[in-house]
A and B are shown apart, each in its own frame.
Chain A
Amino acid sequence: MFEAIAFYLFSAVTISMFIITVMSKNALYSMSALAAGMIMISGFFFLLDADFLGVVQIIVYTGAVMALYAFGMMFFDATRDVKENIRAPKLVFLLSGMTALLLVLAFVAPIVSDHIQALYPVVDGVENPQAVGIVLFTKYLVPFEVAAVMLLVAMIAGIILAGKKMDESLTLKIDGDEEFQNKGSK
C-alpha cells in the first residue's frame, strides 16, 4: 500500500512539475520546476530498488540543471517574464508535439510486445552498483568507451576555448590599473 501511495504521489508531483516547466513564461519558475521534476524522478528508481540509478539521477541532474541556471542568469532577468518571438506557433506546436508523441510511443511500445526479455537478469547477492558495472563493462563496453573518448574531446576543446587567458586574473583586472594587474600575476 505504501508503495502505491508513494508511486502516485511521485507521479503527480513529477507530472505537475514538468507541466510548469513547459507552461511557465518565467525562466526561474521553469528551471526550478525542471530541477524539482528531475529529482522527483529518482523516487521511482528508489521504489524499484534501483538505489544506484536513483542516486545517479539526483547527482547528475543537480549539476546539470545548475549549469542551466548559470546560462539563465547570464541571458535573462530571472524576475521578469520572457517574451518569446515565435513566427509560426502552430507549426512549432505541431512539430514538437509530434516528436514528443513519437518518443512516448517508442518508449511505451515494449509494454505490448511479448518478445522482450531481460538478457542480463538480476543476480542474487549482487548489489546495484556491481550489477550496473557488469553490464557496462561487458555488453555496453564499446558505447561506454566511445562516450569516454567524446567527453575527453569535449573537455580538451572546452579548456582550449576558455583557457586562452587563464593566467590573467579577471578579479584583479581593473581598467587602467596596469601596475595592480602586474602585481597580481606575480
Chain B
Amino acid sequence: MTLTEFVIATIVKILLVLGIVSALAGFGTYLERKVLAFMQRRLGPMHVGPYGLLQVLADGIKLFTKEDFVPQNSIRPIFMIAPLIGAASAFIALAAVPLLPEFKIFGITVHPIIADVNVGILFVLGVMATGLYAPLLAGMASSNKWGLLGAARTVIQLLSYEVVTGLSVMAPLMLVGSLSLIDINNYQANGFKEWIIWQQPVAFVLFLIAGFAETNRTPFDLLEHEAEIVSGFATEYSGMRWGMFFIGEYTNMITLAFLASLVFLGGFNEWGFLPGGLAIILKVSFLFFFFLWTRAAWPHVRPDQLMWLCWKVLLPLAVVNIVITGLVLMM
C-alpha cells in the first residue's frame, strides 16, 4: 500500500467513524430518554414520529436554529473553543480503538482502526482525559459563579479519577505484557474462559466506576449537577455549542464501552457461534445500556463522598490488586 493510498484510506475511515459515531451519539440521547422513562414507569418521547423516533431530528433542528449566545463579560475565544475541545478530543480518542475485527470488502482487507498506535490504551485514556478541559475552560471563561463551581469540580474529578483509571488498567496490562489494544484482544482469543474479567474482576469494577467519573455520568455528574449548581459549566451555553458538549459525552461513553469490552470482555473475538464483529457490538450495547441503567438506579453523590470513594476506597483497592497480580505473576 503506497503512502497516498494509506492517506486516502485513513481519510475515508475518519469520515465514516465521525459520521456513524456522531449519529449514534444523537440516537443515544433518544435511547437514554426511553430507557430512563421505562425504568421510571413513563413512556418517554412519544409524539414526534413512531414511538418518538424522530425526536432526535427535532432536537437537532432546535439546537441548530437556536441563537448562538455569548455572555457579555465572558472571555469570548475560549468560551467558543471549549465545546469544540470536548467533541474533538472524544473523536480523537476513538481513533486508536480497533472497532471491529479485520474484514474483507471488494477484495480489500480493511483494518477498522484509524491509527494503530502501539500504546493504544494509554493514548485513548490520555486523550479522553484532555476532554475534561472542555468543561473546565467553559466554566472558567463564562464568568458565571455556577460555571466556576463546575470548573472547580472538573479539576478535582479529573485529578483523582485519572489515577484510579490508570491503576485499574495496570493489572490486566501486566497479564498481557503489551499496551496495544489489538494484543490485549488477541490475548483473550481462546473463547469465553480466557476473558480477562475472570482473572481481574476487581480491576473491571474499578475501571467502570472510574469511567463513570471520567465521562461525568450519574452518579458522578457533579460538573452539571442541576440540584446544586444550576447546570454547572454549561449554564451559559445554548444551541449547538451546548449540544457539542453532549456529542462529546456520548462519544466518550461509546469509547469507554469499547475499551471495557476490549480489555475485559474478550474484545472482538468470536464468542461461541457469534462472529467477532457482532459480539463486540453486543458487548458495547450492553455497556451503553449499563450507563443508562445506573443513571436510573443511583442517586447523585456529594463531592466529598466522591473524594472519599476515590482516595479511601478505590485507590487502595487498585494498589492491592496490582500487588496481588504481581505476586501471582512472579510465582
Chain A residues engaging chain B, CB cutoff 8 angstroms: 2, 26, 28-29, 32, 35, 39, 46, 51-52, 55-56, 58-59, 62-63, 66-67, 69-70, 73, 78-79, 127-129, 169-172
The answer to the question of B18 belonging to the interface, with a C-beta cut-off of 8 Å to chain A, is no
Q: With A32-B78, A129-B119 as given contacts, are A62 and B140 in contact (CB-CB < 8 Å)?
A: no
Among B23-31, B150-158, B185-193, the stretch in contact with A? B150-158
Q: How far is the CA of A101 from the CA of B127 in the complex (A)?
A: 33
Q: How far is the CA of A56 from the CA of B272 in the complex (A)?
A: 38
Contact A52 B119 (CB under 8 A): yes
Q: How far is the CA of A46 from the CA of B122 in the complex (A)?
A: 13
* 22 contacting pairs across A/B (C-beta < 8 A): A28-B75, A28-B78, A28-B141, A52-B119, A55-B117, A55-B126, A56-B122, A58-B123, A58-B130, A62-B130, A63-B159, A66-B136, A69-B140, A69-B151, A70-B152, A73-B148, A73-B155, A78-B75, A128-B118, A129-B119, A129-B179, A171-B303
Which of A29, A35, A46, A56 is within 8 Å of B75, CB to CB?
Answer: A29
B149 CB, nearest partner CB in chain A, Å: 10
Q: With A35-B133, A51-B117, A66-B158 as given contacts, are A59 and B302 in contact (CB-CB < 8 Å)?
A: no
Q: How far is the CA of A59 from the CA of B162 in the complex (A)?
A: 9
Chain B residues engaging chain A, CB cutoff 8 angstroms: 3, 7, 73-75, 78, 117-119, 122-123, 125-127, 129-130, 132-133, 136-137, 140-141, 143, 148, 151-152, 155-156, 158-159, 162, 178-179, 302-304
Contact A69 B136 (CB under 8 A): yes
Contact B155 A62 (CB under 8 A): no
A49 CB, nearest partner CB in chain B, Å: 9
Q: With A28-B140, A28-B141 as given contacts, are A67 and B122 in contact (CB-CB < 8 Å)?
A: no
Q: Provide the residues of chain B in CB contact with A62, threshold 8 Å.
A: 126, 129-130, 132-133, 158, 162
B300 CB, nearest partner CB in chain A, Å: 13
Q: How far is the CA of A46 from the CA of B92 in the complex (A)?
A: 14
Q: How far is the CA of A1 from the CA of B48 in the complex (A)?
A: 51
Q: Closest residue of chain A to B304, judged by CB?
A: A171
B318 CB, nearest partner CB in chain A, Å: 16
Q: Closest residue of chain A to B303, judged by CB?
A: A171
Contact A51 B73 (CB under 8 A): no
Q: Provide the residues of chain A in CB contact with B141, threshold 8 Å.
A: 28, 78-79
B310 CB, nearest partner CB in chain A, Å: 14
Q: Provide the residues of chain A in CB contact with B178, threshold 8 Å.
A: 127
Contact B123 A51 (CB under 8 A): yes
- Max chain A Cβ within 10 angstroms of own Cβ: one of B3, B78, B148, B151: B78
Q: Closest residue of chain A to B131, judged by CB?
A: A62
Q: Provide the residues of chain A in CB contact with B156, threshold 8 Å.
A: 70
B117 CB, nearest partner CB in chain A, Å: 5
Q: Closest residue of chain B to A55, judged by CB?
A: B122
Q: How far is the CA of A112 from the CA of B14 in the complex (A)?
A: 42
Which of B74, B123, B129, B304 is within 8 Å of A63, CB to CB?
Answer: B129
- Max chain B Cβ within 10 angstroms of own Cβ: one of A32, A67, A170: A32
Q: How far is the CA of A99 from the CA of B24 in the complex (A)?
A: 52
Q: Provide the residues of chain A in CB contact with B75, threshold 8 Å.
A: 26, 28-29, 78-79
Q: Closest residue of chain A to B141, judged by CB?
A: A28
Contact B7 A2 (CB under 8 A): yes
Q: Closest residue of chain A to B137, judged by CB?
A: A32
Beyond contacts A28-B141, A55-B119: 14 other A-B pairs, Cβ-Cβ < 8 A, are A26-B75, A28-B75, A28-B78, A39-B130, A58-B126, A58-B130, A62-B158, A66-B132, A67-B155, A69-B136, A69-B155, A73-B148, A79-B75, A171-B302
Contact A2 B3 (CB under 8 A): yes
Q: Provide the residues of chain B in CB contact with A59, threshold 8 Å.
A: 122, 125-126, 129, 162
Contact B127 A58 (CB under 8 A): yes
A172 CB, nearest partner CB in chain B, Å: 8
Q: How far is the CA of A56 from the CA of B122 in the complex (A)?
A: 8
Q: Provide the residues of chain B in CB contact with A51, threshold 8 Å.
A: 117-119, 123
B307 CB, nearest partner CB in chain A, Å: 10
B178 CB, nearest partner CB in chain A, Å: 7
B86 CB, nearest partner CB in chain A, Å: 14
B128 CB, nearest partner CB in chain A, Å: 10
A38 CB, nearest partner CB in chain B, Å: 10
Q: How far is the CA of A78 from the CA of B7 in the complex (A)?
A: 42
- Max chain A Cβ within 10 angstroms of own Cβ: one of B127, B130, B152, B303: B130
Q: How far is the CA of A36 from the CA of B129 in the complex (A)?
A: 14
Q: With A2-B3, A63-B158, A66-B155 as given contacts, are A128 and B119 in contact (CB-CB < 8 Å)?
A: yes
